[in-house]
Amino acid sequence: MSQKGKYTIGLGIEDPPHLQPGSRVEIKPRGFGYRGAWFSAIIIKRDTPIYSNHFVVKFTDLYLDKNTGARPLKKMSIVFIRPQPSPQPPRKFKIGDNADAYHMNGWWEGVIVVELQDDNYVFLFHSEYQWPKCLVFGVSQLRLHRTWFGGYWMPPELESELDVEEVQREEDPTKITMEMEELSEGALVEVANDEDGFNRAWFAAIIVKPVGNNRYMIQYETVQTEDDTGLGKEMDILQIRPCPPDIPVPDQFEMLDQVEALYKGGWWKGVIINVHSDDSKYQVYLATHEEMEFKHSDLRLHQDWVHGKWTKPSPVI
């Protein structure tokens, strides 16, 4: 051992700090079922001969011997070993963020495809061996994805990540004022099926009349009563939006497109997770945590009505 605490491999060459005995690292095993995930381990020593590019390691959460209760030592190539990233503070993720999710004792690579309530997210795994392809994770189970290349992290780690910070909360939706003109009687609109936006769907409706305090009496177009007349309901302006403009998709939707699917008379938010070979049907993961198949004609691109303007979400990839 050198005075600097580095493990000397001879000929004046020393291993980098993260490959010193006792260092905590992350390793991507090549075995079936583990591909696409990084698992925590500890460096024991460089394998012999001294110029070998393999290291003896001990996983901390993998390969437990049920008979002895110990974790056996493993030999791993240097190309599958990287430093353990610095702990990241909780953060808000956006749809399309490349992230890692802690699942089955390892960090799996993937992408955020749907933002849910209470800092929960629908995560799409990159690994073709992981099923189901999408799962819901809380913000404490996620971290921003980084790649270790040439001795550096990409994107670089930030100094602020050394200190734990609170998650930035979105503005309380009850404080957002909807920048819409006065809704006139007979106006065709869409109304939400709930008040907080969780698993939200939008239903076609007609404004019957204003009732004061930014509330309106509406009549559903697609939700009927027993006598086949539209169901009426009083709703807050925060639950009402204009009908979104049509964005033609003449050919086909693509994987990870954010869409709204026509289901039970309403448009439900989701993401396309599989395009069938004939391009006429799609597998959609809905914000309700359901996975369903839809025809092209029953889908439209998702749009958000924000401060009086229509916005399209950023592409996932």
Domain ranges for the chain = 17-83, 85-169, 187-242, 257-306
Provide CB contacts within 8 A for 149, sequence distance 6+.
Answer: none
Fold classified for 85-169? SH3 type barrels. (2.30.30)
Give domain 187-242's CATH number out of 3.40.1340, 2.30.30, 4.10.860, 2.60.120.
Answer: 2.30.30
Say how far apart CA 229 and CA 266 lie, in whole Å. Answer: 17
Q: Please state which architecture CATH assigns to domain 17-83.
A: Roll (2.30)
Q: Please state which architecture CATH assigns to domain 257-306.
A: Roll (2.30)
47 CB neighbour count, 10 Å cutoff: 17
Q: pLDDT tens digits for the chain (317 residues)?
A: 333 344 444 433 467 888 999 999 999 987 666 777 999 999 999 888 766 789 999 999 888 877 887 888 999 999 899 999 888 888 899 988 999 999 989 999 999 998 888 889 999 998 877 777 889 999 999 999 998 887 888 877 664 444 433 333 344 443 334 444 557 888 899 998 764 444 578 999 999 998 888 889 999 887 655 555 557 789 888 889 999 998 888 788 888 788 899 998 899 988 888 888 776 799 988 877 788 999 999 999 988 887 778 877 544 43
pTM of the model: 0.52
Q: CA 196, 201, 204: angle at the middle one, nearest 5? A: 120
Q: CA nearest 271: which of 101, 111, 113, 131?
A: 113
63 CB neighbour count, 10 Å cutoff: 17
